[in-house]
Structure 1
Amino acid sequence: MESEYRYQQLENWLLQGILEQRWRLGERLPSIRTLCQEQGLSKATVQHALQRLEAQGLLEARPKAGYFVALQPDGVKKPLSRARIEAPRPVSVSDLLLDIMRRSAAFDLLPDLHSGDLPPGIVALNRSIGRSLRRQKGEDYQYYDEPAGDRQLREQLALHAARRGWSVSPEQLCITSGCQHALFLALMACCERGDVVAVESPGFYGVLQLLEQLELRVVEVPTSAESGMDIDALEEVLERWKVRACIVSPAFGTPGGALMPLASKQRLLALAERHNLAVIEDDIYADTAQGSAPDPLKALDSDNRVILCSSFSKCLSRDLRLGWVSGARWHDRIQHLKLVTQLASSRYLQQGVAEFMADGGFSAHLRRQRNELRVNRDQLIAELHAWPGEVRVTAPQGGLAVWVELPEHVDTLSAYGEGLEQGVVITPGPLFSVSGQFANCLRISFAHPWNASRTRALRRLPELLRV
């Protein structure tokens, strides 16, 4: 009984410390050895208390690292904002987006910081690319890559897809200049000027840029912070208007990082077949999953109408500019359009990445990255919990950002200029819609570590936003 009483005492003491934020979300608790020494307890008693808290979802055990205060999704207030369903309209993207991209600030509050050493995975990647370049022979530099891209890279991508439950052959893949290029090719292949395209709202602003450039009209479909595109709302849209294509991010799409459940994926494909709809899957965030990467929507595509687009930019390097597309019934058309818009990809870059994947470097990099992103995410949400007023935030299990909903009086667009004066770049909510919604929302990324400078910038935001 004495032993039971003592582990319960320790459990209650640790729980009180978590509630009082003695250890904040994402922070490491004292080691088992330290707790034994400070509390005068046996190792078995300490482990039992920690395991009980872990079973309640309050702690997370990380191999060779210890116990950390865990993210508690049930305790996070989820955003309530819901997009309105409005008639299809032409797209006009704000110049503010160009300003953010010019500052390289899409995923960093302090884009000028550029601190830290290269991660081990990027060092290994650069070595693989360097070896590939040195292996060039004779007049290789005088010839273009084949239209579909390097065969070895496509084989490695097919193997990577198979681990996620999608059986695809190298012949069904085409290498592109990033995911944005893949999305562009997909839209050109299945749509014509004036067609209506359904998109998530809030959704990826890069898609809105493409729709504007191609003179396509957009209809926004509300999304849920947890499950992504509202399939009931999509069905309503399809009944009211002739929609040619639907762009969707089932796995941790920006800005909120939602994960579409299997039942919603199945309903989406059934609606696509009923309404003869092309489905363009933006799968770029899947490999940032905190656990195992979810199966793509494409894995369920028995009707050959899902065009999958992805790249390495969110899980490996933004600078690499290598993506891929599997074009379903439009694949031949997409390969032809690649010749028109890009001609060819760099062979030595593709061969270097293929070697990096074949040697296990990519898998090792993903394991490290997932742990780092989890820590960054937990620290960010802990900081947001301390903001004044009612703040609602997504708690994504993948992706690179959270979606923050602030009190209705907040105008994130108005705060953008003032933030620049303080050296802080925010990403206002209205950028993720064409209808002027989400003025009281913003996206905040956890792609970078929360060092002292970034943490100070984050803590200036409540005053800047007048929360």
Structure 2
Amino acid sequence: MGAQFRYEALETWLEQGIREQRWGSGERLPSIRALCREHGLSKATVQHALQRLESRGLIETRPKAGHFVAVRPLNVAQPVSRARIEPPRPVTVNELLLDIMGRNAAFDLLPALHETAPPPGIVALNRAIARALRRPSQGSYQYYDAPAGDIGLREQLTVGMARRGCRLGVDALCITSGCQNALFLALMASCSRGDIVAVESPGFYGVMQLLEHLELQVIEIPSAVDWGMDLEALHAVLQRWPVRACIVSPSFATPGGALMPDAAKQRLLALADEFDLAVIEDDIYGDTGFTSVPDPLKGMDRYQRVILCSSFSKSLSRDLRLGWISGARWHDRILQIKLVTQLAGSRSVQQGVAAFLADGGYAAHLRRERGRLREQRDQLRTMLDDWPGDVRVSVPDGGLAVWVELPEGIDTLAAYPRALAQGVVITPGPLFSASGQFGNCLRLSFAHPWSQARRQALAVLPEIFGLTPANGGDERRPA
């Protein structure tokens, strides 16, 4: 094993053994002590390799028992990346997306079904904001907030980022109206009309909306649901076209929940430096990691090429339109654009959130939320195992959704009105591509509890899609 990447070599060896069924589903792996002895590695190196495998859903840790190959439903396999590379093109967003957003259904099959009571973290957050609203700084109601945002909130954000291996000063952060606003500022600062932007495929449809509005061209880079963007494909694209920026979500990318390995992050940064790229990092799902919270790409940024964008909307509340951006070499430009387009945010809301962070309310909320989301992900996996036919499902270790690949020939766009007629709102796969790819795919979210009504909504989908058992029978195939 090479001295620099010993943990990666062990990770690869273990993964190969799992895929070759050297250890079967649910079987215990060799102990940490045995792996140290057999491979001549330190305990920390072995633990790091095991943590990476666990973050990808390949193994599970059982307290006082050891590490085991993850038990996956027999009928659930990982989707295969089949995105094709096409020349740069202008973006035209499918009007169906507006219908979904208008129904507030981006993360819910039944958007009209509201939970009866907010979780404890949201109650504590609301109290912190209410206290800040009742006790504004003397005379502050007569003044706008500073363009960069409340310094107390920025200080708390730097503390949280430092825990994730990313050290930023308060002056390197700017508060925004959510992550979409941060992405908008990043593109405005780093690109001009007609520039080419590389994106993950499948990727976030909100990015497609921004590219269309800013009259930028898009080029789609194939992305796998377990490790993210294909960097060799990106390299080939960079050699052929003058790409100005690349938008990536290294931590639990939507729609499949991909987690980019550290070696791939380093490769991406090397390409950015070689081809003079702005790398726009969408880190909105970073805090949702079920077993570990990955370090952001920004923490590796030695040449000030990574623009970090994030918010609290996926980890705390969709109603809290509060995000942040760290603009690297474009930061001054970002502050100017924010001043022109937004002017200022609510100082009281920012101060309330800062107090919530400082008092430990956010950390406590995340501990509860991660466990809840992991349980709801597993429940969804179990229910999807009952779907007939060749159905493949991603198994993310963070985020809010899975990517479902149905048999070839099924058209999820055509199924949308049929599902809507039964009161169910789906998110078809072509919305995650500028070129209309992934017609047989869809995104399903586990953000909400699986109530009886949501279970029933999910259960009607196989018939709507016209799914039939594989091989014409009831046989289950191995993953």
**TM-score normalized by the length of structure 1:** 0.85
Any idea what SS the aligned residue of 2:320 has?
A: coil
Q: Please tell me whether residue 101 in structure 1 is matched to residue 101 in structure 2.
A: yes
Q: In the aligned structure 2, how far is the partner of 1:59 from the partner of 1:210?
A: 38
Q: Which residue of 1 aligns with 2:136?
A: 136
Q: Which residue of 1 aligns with 2:304?
A: 304
Q: In the aligned structure 2, how far is the partner of 1:107 from the partner of 1:137?
A: 37
Q: Which residue of 2 aligns with 1:459?
A: 459
Q: Which residue of 1 aligns with 2:411?
A: 411
Q: In the aligned structure 2, how far is the partner of 1:137 from the partner of 1:278?
A: 38
Q: Which residue of 1 aligns with 2:428?
A: 428
Counterpart residue identity of residue 242, structure 1: P
Q: Which residue of 2 aligns with 1:158?
A: 158
Q: Which residue of 1 aligns with 2:362?
A: 362
Cα 1:157/1:73, change in 2 over 3 Å: farther
Q: Which residue of 2 aligns with 1:114?
A: 114
Q: Which residue of 1 aligns with 2:236?
A: 236
Q: In the aligned structure 2, how far is the partner of 1:225 from the partner of 1:341?
A: 35
Q: Which residue of 1 aligns with 2:439?
A: 439
The alpha-carbon deviation at position 436 of structure 1 amounts to 1.3
Aligned pairs for 1:28-107 within 5 A: 72=71, 76-107=76-107
Aligned pairs for 1:196-345 within 5 A: 196-345=196-345
Q: How many residues align?
A: 408
The alpha-carbon deviation at position 72 of structure 1 amounts to 2.9
The alpha-carbon deviation at position 466 of structure 1 amounts to 1.1
Provide Cα deviations, 1:5-52, integer angstroms capped at 9, x if missing partner: xxxxxxxxxxxxxxxxxxxx9xxxxxxxxxxxxxxxxxxxxxxxxxxx
Q: In the aligned structure 2, how far is the partner of 1:163 from the partner of 1:292?
A: 12
Q: In the aligned structure 2, how far is the partner of 1:385 from the partner of 1:71?
A: 15
Any idea what SS the aligned residue of 2:171 has?
A: helix
Q: In the aligned structure 2, how far is the partner of 1:74 from the partner of 1:96?
A: 32
Q: In the aligned structure 2, how far is the partner of 1:100 from the partner of 1:428?
A: 10
Cα 1:337/1:262, change in 2 over 3 Å: same
Preserved CA contact (<8 Å) 1:73 1:395: no
The alpha-carbon deviation at position 139 of structure 1 amounts to 3.2
Preserved CA contact (<8 Å) 1:81 1:438: no
Q: In the aligned structure 1, how far is the partner of 2:60 from the partner of 2:193?
A: 53
Q: In the aligned structure 1, how far is the partner of 2:91 from the partner of 2:175?
A: 28
Cα 1:90/1:58, change in 2 over 3 Å: closer
Q: In the aligned structure 2, how far is the partner of 1:272 from the partner of 1:112?
A: 44
Q: Which residue of 2 aligns with 1:125?
A: 125
Provide Cα deviations, 1:108-135, integer angstroms capped at 9, x if missing partner: 0000001231100000000000000010
Q: In the aligned structure 2, how far is the partner of 1:173 from the partner of 1:197?
A: 24
Any idea what SS the aligned residue of 2:189 has?
A: helix
Q: In the aligned structure 2, how far is the partner of 1:393 from the partner of 1:457?
A: 18
Preserved CA contact (<8 Å) 1:251 1:283: yes
**TM-score normalized by the length of structure 2:** 0.83
Q: Which residue of 2 aligns with 1:194?
A: 194
Identity of matched residues, %? 67
Counterpart residue identity of residue 267, structure 2: R
Counterpart residue identity of residue 135, structure 1: R
The alpha-carbon deviation at position 138 of structure 1 amounts to 4.5
Q: Which residue of 1 aligns with 2:170?
A: 170
Preserved CA contact (<8 Å) 2:81 2:225: no
The alpha-carbon deviation at position 292 of structure 1 amounts to 2.2
Any idea what SS the aligned residue of 2:220 has?
A: strand
Cα 1:265/1:74, change in 2 over 3 Å: farther
Structure 2: segments with no counterpart, 5+ residues: 1-24, 26-57, 468-479
Q: In the aligned structure 1, how far is the partner of 2:73 from the partner of 2:418?
A: 34
Question: CA RMSD for the aligned pairs?
Answer: 1.9
Any idea what SS the aligned residue of 1:324 has?
A: strand
Query: Which of 71-80 and 232-241 deviates more?
Result: 71-80
Counterpart residue identity of residue 72, structure 1: V
Q: Which residue of 1 aligns with 2:39?
A: none
Q: In the aligned structure 2, how far is the partner of 1:61 from the partner of 1:149?
A: 43
Cα 1:261/1:59, change in 2 over 3 Å: closer
The alpha-carbon deviation at position 271 of structure 1 amounts to 0.4
Counterpart residue identity of residue 77, structure 2: K
Q: In the aligned structure 2, how far is the partner of 1:438 from the partner of 1:87?
A: 18
Cα 1:123/1:306, change in 2 over 3 Å: same
Q: In the aligned structure 2, how far is the partner of 1:459 from the partner of 1:447?
A: 17
Provide Cα deviations, 1:389-426, integer angstroms capped at 9, x if missing partner: 01000000000000000001210000101111111000
Provide Cα deviations, 1:214-242, integer angstroms capped at 9, x if missing partner: 00000000001110000011001101101
Q: In the aligned structure 2, how far is the partner of 1:210 from the partner of 1:317?
A: 22
Preserved CA contact (<8 Å) 1:148 1:173: yes
Any idea what SS the aligned residue of 1:200 has?
A: strand
The alpha-carbon deviation at position 136 of structure 1 amounts to 1.5
The alpha-carbon deviation at position 74 of structure 1 amounts to 9.4
Which runs of structure 1 show a deviation greater than 6 angstroms over 4 or more consecutive aligned residues? 57-60
The alpha-carbon deviation at position 106 of structure 1 amounts to 0.2
Preserved CA contact (<8 Å) 2:73 2:385: no
Q: In the aligned structure 1, how far is the partner of 2:130 from the partner of 2:410?
A: 49
Provide Cα deviations, 1:235-292, integer angstroms capped at 9, x if missing partner: 0110110100000000001000000001110010000000000000000000010022
Preserved CA contact (<8 Å) 1:200 1:229: yes
Preserved CA contact (<8 Å) 1:71 1:378: no
Cα 1:419/1:267, change in 2 over 3 Å: same
Q: Which residue of 2 aligns with 1:145?
A: 145
Q: In the aligned structure 1, how far is the partner of 2:320 from the partner of 2:69?
A: 33
The alpha-carbon deviation at position 71 of structure 1 amounts to 5.5
Q: In the aligned structure 1, how far is the partner of 2:139 from the partner of 2:441?
A: 54
Q: In the aligned structure 2, how far is the partner of 1:445 from the partner of 1:72?
A: 21
Q: In the aligned structure 2, how far is the partner of 1:441 from the partner of 1:239?
A: 30
Cα 1:466/1:62, change in 2 over 3 Å: farther
Provide Cα deviations, 1:191-224, integer angstroms capped at 9, x if missing partner: 0000000000000000000000000000000001
Q: In the aligned structure 1, how far is the partner of 2:137 from the partner of 2:183?
A: 34
The alpha-carbon deviation at position 465 of structure 1 amounts to 1.1
Structure 1: segments with no counterpart, 5+ residues: 1-24, 26-56, 64-68
Q: Which residue of 1 aligns with 2:48?
A: none
Preserved CA contact (<8 Å) 2:81 2:222: no
